[in-house]
Amino acid sequence: MKKKVLSGMRPTGRLHLGHYFGTLRNWVKLQEECDCYYMASDWHALTTEYANTSKISENTFEMIADWITVGLDPLKSVIFKQSAIHQHSELFLMLSMITPLGWLQRCPTYKDQVREIKNKNLNNYGFLGYPVLMASDILLYRANLVPVGEDQLLHLELTREIARRFNNFYGKIFIEPEAKLSKSTRVPGTDGRKMSKSYGNSIFLGENSDAIKEKVKNMFTDPLKIKKNDLGHPDGCVVIKFYKILSEDSDKYSKFKQREKDCKVGSIGCSLCKKQLTEILTEFMKSLSGKRKKLISDKAYLEKVIMEGCQKAEDCAQKTMTEIRKALKF
C-alpha cells in the first residue's frame, strides 16, 4: 500500500524560490511514490488576514497555478482547497474540545509570532487554536507522512499528541502521522536572511529578466573581493548559496560545484559570477513563465482541477467523519 501524504500551504501571496527549493520540489517528487493530498489552506490564511480577506481567494487560485507550473500533476496528486471541505471545520470543533489550552499556550511558534507580528492583533481564539486546525487537516485524511519544514515540526508533534488523546477517549480512529523532513534547503533572500515575502528579499516564480538582474546585482558578496584575482571568502556570500542549491538540484548545473573553489583561489570575479547566476535564473524562470501564463489564462481548466480535487478530498474526509461520529455515539 502506498503511503498517504498530506501537506498544506497558505495562500498569502506570490510564491518565490524559497517555496520552490524548500517545499514544492519535494512535493513534486513525492507524488511519484505516494498517495498525495496537497491543500491550499485558505482558512489558515484567515488566522492572520481576517481583517482583510480580499486577496485570499485570488491568491489561492494563483498559488495552485504555480504548483501545477512547477510540476504538481492533478492526475497524480489530489489538489484542493481547505475551505471547500467543511469537514475540516467539523473536526476542528471536535478536536478543540479535547485539546488542553496549555498545549497551545506553550507552543513556541505561538509565542514567537505574537511577539514578532506587531502590525496585527493576534490576540484571538483562532490564532491560538491554529495548530488544532492543522491537526484536523492531517488527521482527517489519515495521512502517514507530512512533509513540513523545521518550523512546523512542533505542530506535527502536537498533532500526534492530539491524535493519541482522541484515540484514548474514543478508540483507535487516527493514525499518528510522521513528519517527512526532506533535506531542508534554506533558500537565502537577496539580503542573506531567509527568503520571505515579508522581508522584501524574494525572487518570485516567473520573475522577468530585468527584475532578476537587479536582484542578483544587489546580493551581498564578499566585501573584501574587489578585483577578479582577489582571493574570495565565499562563506558569507549569498550568490554562492544559490550556486550550491542549483548544482545540487540538477546535473545541468554540476559544473558550478567548482564555484566555491574558483572564488577562493581568485579565478573568478564577482561581476562575472553574478552575471552567470542571472543567466541561469532567467533561463529557469523562462521555462516556467510560458506554462504559468497559459494556466492563469485558462481559468476553466484550473477550476475543473480544483473542483475534481475537492471532490476526491471530500470523499476521503467524509469517510473519516462518519467513523468519528459513530465513535462519539452521535
Residues at the site binding ligand TRP, with contacts judged by CB under 6 A:
6-10, 41, 44, 134, 137-138, 146, 148, 152
Interaction of residue 225 with ligand SF4, rule CB under 6 A: yes
d(CA 20, CA 24): 5
| Total number of residues shown for the chain | 330
Q: Which C-beta is closer to ligand TRP: that of 269 or that of 309? A: 309
Taking the complex as a whole, how short is the minimal distance between the CB of residue 259 and ligand TRP, in angstroms? 32
Taking the complex as a whole, how short is the minimal distance between the CB of residue 214 and ligand SF4, in angstroms? 16
Q: In the chain, where does DSSP find H-type helix?
A: 17-19, 25-30, 42-49, 56-69, 87-98, 101-105, 108-116, 125-128, 130-140, 153-170, 209-217, 238-249, 259-265, 270-297, 299-327
Interaction of residue 246 with ligand SF4, rule CB under 6 A: no
Interaction of residue 189 with ligand SF4, rule CB under 6 A: no
User: Do residues 245 and 184 touch, judged by C-beta distance below 8 A?
Assistant: no
d(CA 330, CA 319): 15
CA dist 322 → 82, 173, 248 (Å): 19, 11, 46
CA dist 228 → 218, 224, 240, 261 (Å): 18, 11, 15, 14
Member of 234, 253, 305, 317 binding ligand SF4 (CB under 6 A): 234
State the cell numbers at 328.
462519539
Q: Give the contacts of 96 (CB within 8 A, at least 6 positions apart).
A: 129, 132
Residue 81 interacts with which of ligand SF4, ligand TRP, none, CB < 5 to 8 Å by class? none
Taking the complex as a whole, how short is the minimal distance between the CB of residue 207 and ligand SF4, in angstroms? 20
Taking the complex as a whole, how short is the minimal distance between the CB of residue 205 and ligand TRP, in angstroms? 17
Q: Which C-beta is closer to ligand TRP: that of 41 or that of 202? A: 41
Site size toward ligand SF4, by CB under 6 A: 13
Residue 139 interacts with which of ligand TRP, ligand SF4, none, CB < 5 to 8 Å by class? none
Taking the complex as a whole, how short is the minimal distance between the CB of residue 39 and ligand TRP, in angstroms? 6
| The one segment of 19-27, 181-189, 266-274, 280-288 that binds ligand SF4 by CB under 6 A | 266-274
Member of 143, 240, 310, 317 binding ligand SF4 (CB under 6 A): 240
User: Do residues 25 and 299 touch, judged by C-beta distance below 8 A?
Assistant: no
Q: Which C-beta is closer to ligand TRP: that of 146 or that of 285? A: 146
Taking the complex as a whole, how short is the minimal distance between the CB of residue 222 and ligand SF4, in angstroms? 4
* β 35-40/145-147 pair status: unpaired
Q: How far is CA 177 from the centre of its chain?
A: 18
Which residues are at the interface with ligand SF4 (CB under 6 A)?
221-222, 225, 232, 234, 237, 239-240, 263, 268, 270, 273-274
